[in-house]
Structure 1
Amino acid sequence: MSEVNDRGSIKWTAMMLPEHIQMLNKMWKDKERKAKPMLDEQELEEINMKLQLAIHHHLPVQIKYYSDYDYKVIKGKIKKIDLADKYIQLDDYTKIGLMDILDVVTE
């Protein structure tokens, strides 16, 4: 029995217009996007307490946050919490919006 060498959707791209290929690429990229989870009041209060503890005791933290339709993790020490502009700044000058933070782990 012979094996079929099927190239999937690659075989059809030669017959597609560039606009169709761009639309398919955008569709596949949109499909990989993750939704931002909504945190309840208790989770937000817990994150706030961990941030306050970390800044007052100069503890390193690991922060999970939402950015560009994906979840990201960063480690460092908190340099500043700006409540007026609603962001935190780490010691490497990275700024993270307070509403984008999903979890904080003190180390």
Structure 2
Amino acid sequence: MSVNDRGSIKWTAMMMPEHIELLKQTWQEQERKQKPIIDEQKQEEINLKLQMAVKNELTIDLKYFLNHDFYKAKGKVVSIDRQNRYIKVAGQYLPIESIIDAWID
């Protein structure tokens, strides 16, 4: 919370519920994160690690971007569906495009 937020929070007590909701939505939009651009070399590195994890049944750590935020998943890769562009790891289905980094334990 910045110094300027204090004034708007102070006035929310006198606002209509619709205005408060619009103010909350504005704050959330300002906090949205942008997906980093992954170059071809990094994408190839991620693909190699995924293939190695599947082939050797290794545990992998994945960092992915979904719904304007960053998340991590850890586990064994159950399957890679290249046709539908999804990967199944630790009970989650992740879009392959959302993966931004990978580490093998």
- Counterpart amino acid of 1:44? Q
**Separation in structure 1 between the aligned mates of residue 62 and residue 91 of structure 2, nearest angstrom:** 14
Partner of 1:31: 30
Shift of 1:78: 0.2
Of all paired residues, the percent bearing the same amino acid is 45
Equivalent residues in 2 for 1:12-51 (5 A)? 12-51=11-50
Q: CA RMSD in A?
A: 1.2
User: Runs of 5+ in structure 1 lacking a partner?
Assistant: 1-6
User: Runs of 5+ in structure 2 lacking a partner?
Assistant: 1-5
Aligned length: 100
Equivalent residues in 2 for 1:49-68 (5 A)? 49-68=48-67
TM-score calculated relative to the size of structure 1: 0.88
Match of 2:98 among 81, 88, 100: 100
Shift of 1:16: 1.2
Is 1:11 the counterpart of 2:10? The answer is yes
Equivalent residues in 2 for 1:81-100 (5 A)? 81-90=80-89, 92-100=90-98
**Separation in structure 2 between the aligned mates of residue 66 and residue 89 of structure 1, nearest angstrom:** 15
* Structure ID, larger Rg: 1
- Counterpart amino acid of 1:102? I
Structure richer in helix, relative to its length: 2
